Structure 1
Amino acid sequence: MAAPAEAAAPAAAPAVSGALWAEVWALLPGTEEELTLALSGEVDDCVQPLLRRARGLLYGAAGRPCGEEAAAALRRLGDILRDYSWEKLNAGPWREISKAWRQVYTYGCLFGALAEVAAGRPVAPAVRLCDMGLLMGASVLDNVLARLVRVLQRQLPREQRRGAAALAAEKPVVLEGIMDHWPCMKKWSVDYFCQIAGCRTVPVELGTRYTDEEWSQKLMTVSDFISQYIVNEKSVGYLAQHQLFDQIPELKEDINIPDYCCLGEGDEDHITINAWFGPQGTISPLHQDPQQNFLAQVFGRKYIRLYSPQDSENLYPHESQILHNTSQVDVEDPDLVKFPNFRKAASQSCILMPGQVLFIPVKYWHYVRSLDTSFSVSFWWS
């Protein structure tokens, strides 16, 4: 999560940087007719009139920033287009969603972002709209959102600018808004899992972390797992399931694969979806994965610490083949006598909150500790 001239906006409108508007406007076709609003398939009849009205508001100012009233109308049309198309994007499995509806969503993001700039507002919301269009939409106008966000992010303060560029630079970043409309955000709870899957048998990992000597695995029903490890907390157990969503498809219907995953080398069938359900205190020791990862937090909080692959030598990976992707260091209580170079490793950390998605680039080291009873979904992709 651009106009060709320095011409001033109408007196009623907030001041807009002429140079910024000129740079943004230069990304768009020169005339209204050249912005074709072409879609790759059929959509509802009401959509094209909305798109044409938004285009007319944009070009009605003849290259000058929209007045306050026109910018507000353009913003409303962007909201309507995004809301309407979002329902279509969440109407079924991602592979069955028409590309045309993703393009409509992109146009909604584009018009909304341009309205923010034209009204002289801070550019951070416009950058977020561009990112949402890039993540959930489909390319229009020669991928204009990617070009627009590069212009806008240069206007951000340094800290915000780093976050906006993180995905492209393969740096960790917390994304907002991606999960807002996932059904799981309203439906999922401990009680819901008992209701939907209580009688189902699943593998459970027993122990605080998989590197502990006493760590083991056991098959049990979801109800027994919840009773013993979530409600009564007799000991630490973790439901870490790679096939849960195939085993219980009702759960898969409540989530959406982030669109960015689909831009990888494979198709949706090559995306691995994992479930992580456990009580407070469960830990994933510092490790790295061979694929890109979106970690989506449904409920509960997680403390996460990350280290760059460039620091691998300072993180003391296990020498055994089985654990070569796992550090020997206890991140929160390191033995600096045994692992002295660990102090040289630079880290980033965050508390991942419900509704947030953390992008963990391939080979990035990450340590995870649950602060509450927690359910996360991760998407691994290449």
Structure 2
Amino acid sequence: MALLGAEDQGGGLAADETVWVEVRTLLPSTEEGLTLALSGEVEDCVQELLRRGRRVLYGAEGRPGREAAAAMDRIGDVLRDYSWEKLNAGPWREISKAWRQVYAYGCFFGALSQVAAGHPLATAVRLCDLGLLMGASVLDNVLARLRARADPPPVPAVRPEDAVPHLHCPSLEHFRDNFLIPQKPVILEGITDHWPCMKKWSVDYFCQVAGCRTVPVELGPRYTDEEWSQKLMTVSDFINQYIVNQNSVGYLAQHQLFDQIPELKEDISIPDYCCLGEGEEDDITINAWFGPEGTVSPLHQDPQQNFLAQVFGRKYIRLYSPQDSENLYPHESHILHNTSQVDVDDPDLVKFPSFSKAAFQSCILMPGQVLFIPVKYWHYVRSLDTSFSVSFWWS
């Protein structure tokens, strides 16, 4: 199961749709109201590009579609690149304010395209910051107001009464009797301290040992989206595009990565607790999950026991018992029968009223911690940072 986000399948607004609605209130209601005034002269082709960006923005009713968002993104790139050359053509005091405003408009269209496409908000925030630092105020300082609306959400709070319990290196017997047999989630600490990956692995390290390797990357904010797809690319290209520059949403979810790159497999170990299962060690599936901040997995369940080990970055995780399955509204289609229709961040309680009855546990999984997710336990996952996790599926 890919760790990508879930779209609200009901009548309510999904979280990214809500952000777009809020951002849209910052703009004039009509195309004519969005003035593109500049404090100086620029080439006619730049003026036309600004007007084209405005037409694209107002040409779609409601939220711009994927093609319109991509067009705004390209216009923003061209405006920033061209004005950047002007900004670096001589002493700063001699640069026309008009070119700083063009750069700000480039950041403006770029940030809007990110929000409209439902991409991680960190990219839109970064573009707003660049415009505020290098540009000049436009549209009543719209970048500052846009940044305030698009700022990433705070780290979710974990209430003590809902928190998943923690244990430090429990014995096999204690884990079996208190968590495996009764099928209760638990966070295990101290069991990965000896793994070499805890000291070695980083984004730079992956570029070094695996940069030239070709791997499948999942594209799109959610695997339930129609535009979700997969693409083969090198690890270096994946890191540059989706981790460093965060140009769009991409996630490396790989079942064969450790067989493909033995150097990585040598840096981890199968948890001893897997010996309590019925299968052989060769039957254990080891998965790699590598993605940027904001990557979301929908609420779903897996057919095996799962140890989710966090190597770097943090993840917010919410867990629901299989006994609450009816309250979680699984999709009726065979392909998505193990995925809930409910958007955990913004549930549509009109369409899914019983969701509020479902009890849950939650945690923020930190580096070095391992979460035991019992078989068929529903879980929702959101990366709070650039994150690398390793999961072990066993029976």
Range into which the TM-score falls when normalised by the shorter chain: 0.5 to 0.7
1:14 alignment partner in structure 2: none
2:265 alignment partner in structure 1: 252
Q: TM-score, normalised by structure 1?
A: 0.58
Pairing 1:285-364 to 2, within 5 Å after superposition: 285-364=298-377
1:182 alignment partner in structure 2: 195
Q: Distance in 2 between matches of 1:128 and 1:234?
A: 39
Q: Distance in 2 between matches of 1:196 and 1:358?
A: 27
User: How big is each residue's C-alpha offset from its partner over 1:13-41, in whole Å with a ceiling of 9 and x where there is no partner?
Assistant: xxxxxxxxxxxxxxxxxxxxxxxxxxxxx
Query: What letter is aligned with 1:297?
Result: Q
User: How big is each residue's C-alpha offset from its partner over 1:32-89, in whole Å with a ceiling of 9 and x where there is no partner?
Assistant: xxxxxxxxxxxxxxxxxxxxxxxxxxxxxxxxxxxxxxxxxxxxxxxxxxxxxxxxxx
User: How big is each residue's C-alpha offset from its partner over 1:120-141, in whole Å with a ceiling of 9 and x where there is no partner?
Assistant: xxxx99x845x1x42xxxxxxx
Q: Distance in 2 between matches of 1:215 and 1:347?
A: 28
Query: What letter is aligned with 2:217?
Result: V
Q: Distance in 2 between matches of 1:164 and 1:314?
A: 28
Q: Distance in 2 between matches of 1:213 and 1:285?
A: 15
Q: TM-score, normalised by structure 2?
A: 0.57
Unaligned 5+ runs, structure 1: 1-123, 135-145, 151-162
1:195 alignment partner in structure 2: 208
Which SS does the other structure have where 1:169 is aligned?
A: coil
2:219 alignment partner in structure 1: 206
User: How big is each residue's C-alpha offset from its partner over 1:177-225, in whole Å with a ceiling of 9 and x where there is no partner?
Assistant: 0111100000000000000000000000111221122211100000000
2:185 alignment partner in structure 1: 172
Shift of 1:167: 3.6
Q: Distance in 1 between matches of 2:375 and 2:242?
A: 31
CA contact (8 A) 2:168 2:188 kept: no
Q: Distance in 1 between matches of 2:177 and 2:229?
A: 41
Query: What letter is aligned with 2:338?
Result: N
Q: Distance in 1 between matches of 2:237 and 2:347?
A: 35
Closer, same or farther in 2 for the Cα pair 1:313/1:351, shift >3 Å? Answer: same
Residue-pair matches, total: 231
Shift of 1:262: 2.1
User: How big is each residue's C-alpha offset from its partner over 1:98-143, in whole Å with a ceiling of 9 and x where there is no partner?
Assistant: xxxxxxxxxxxxxxxxxxxxxxxxxx99x845x1x42xxxxxxxxx
Q: Distance in 1 between matches of 2:259 and 2:195?
A: 18
CA contact (8 A) 1:281 1:372 kept: yes
Aligned-residue Cα RMSD (Å) equals 2.0
2:385 alignment partner in structure 1: 372
Q: Distance in 1 between matches of 2:275 and 2:220?
A: 35
Q: Distance in 2 between matches of 1:373 and 1:351?
A: 14
CA contact (8 A) 1:208 1:281 kept: no
Query: What letter is aligned with 2:314?
Result: R
Unaligned 5+ runs, structure 2: 1-164
Query: What letter is aligned with 2:340?
Result: S
Query: What letter is aligned with 1:194?
Result: C
Q: Quick one: percent identity of the two aligned structures?
A: 85
Q: Distance in 1 between matches of 2:335 and 2:200?
A: 37
Query: What letter is aligned with 1:294?
Result: F
Q: Distance in 2 between matches of 1:212 and 1:357?
A: 30
Shift of 1:248: 0.6
